[in-house]
């Protein structure tokens, strides 16, 4: 189960029983409640910079928000095939367990890169994905272009 423990589900379950006593922290790694962090961008506000967009896309993978992944992907590089490669309604078979943003560089006025390490589990094993993602600012918002995965 990729997203059984996702924050939205946890929060909804908690609210049915009783009022939540503590905010659910955003999975993106910032010590911030989800609703005041990536939840804002998931709800439709425009992420103000490439790093926040990248974090919110990571959380979208955690929470299996396929529409958000598509809508933040630049049309020039957005996959035309369904991201649900396994046909099970999930974006990924991996269970993402942590994100560390290493650098966020504004490479030009309209472009930026974000280098990060995402940790995940798959088939009972833990993995690290070290990627540098490219973003472009267009039509008053940031878009994900593509990413280059490092071997180390």
Contacting positions for Zn ion (CB under 5 A): 26, 28, 37-38, 55
> What distance separates the 2 farthest-apart alpha carbons in the chain?
49
* Residues paired with residue 111 on neighbouring β-strands, in sequence order: 108, 136
CB of 31 to Zn ion, least distance (A): 10
Query: Cβ closer to Zn ion: 55 or 57?
Result: 55
CB of 27 to Zn ion, least distance (A): 7
Smallest separation (angstroms) from Zn ion to the CB of 109: 25
Where do the DSSP E strands lie in the chain?
Answer: 95-108, 111-122, 125-138, 141-150
Shortest gap between Cβ of 28 and Zn ion (angstroms)?
3
Answer for the pair 131, 149: CB distance below 8 angstroms, yes or no.
yes
Structure tokens at 88: 């099970």
Structure tokens at 113: 């890169």
Q: Among residues 57 and 84, whose Cβ is nearest to Zn ion?
A: 57
Give whichever of 28 and 136 is closer to Zn ion, judged by the CB atom: 28
- Pick 34 or 143: Cβ nearer Zn ion: 34
The closest alpha carbon to 38, from 58, 10, 23, 13, belongs to: 58
């Amino acid at each position: 189960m990729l997203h059984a423990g996702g924050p939205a589900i946890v929060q909804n379950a908690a609210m049915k029983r009783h009022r939540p006593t503590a905010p659910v922290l955003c999975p993106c790694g910032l010590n911030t409640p989800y609703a005041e962090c990536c939840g804002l961008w998931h709800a439709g506000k425009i992420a103000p910079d490439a790093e926040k967009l990248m974090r919110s896309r990571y959380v979208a993978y955690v929470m299996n928000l396929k529409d958000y992944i598509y809508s933040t992907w630049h049309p020039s590089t957005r996959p035309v095939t369904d991201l649900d490669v396994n046909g099970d309604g999930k974006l990924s078979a991996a269970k993402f367990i942590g994100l560390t943003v290493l650098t966020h560089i504004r490479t030009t006025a309209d472009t930026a890169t974000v280098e990060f390490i995402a940790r995940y589990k798959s088939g009972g094993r833990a993995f690290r994905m070290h990627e540098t993602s490219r973003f472009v600012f267009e039509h008053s918002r940031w878009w994900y272009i593509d990413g280059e995965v490092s071997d180390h």
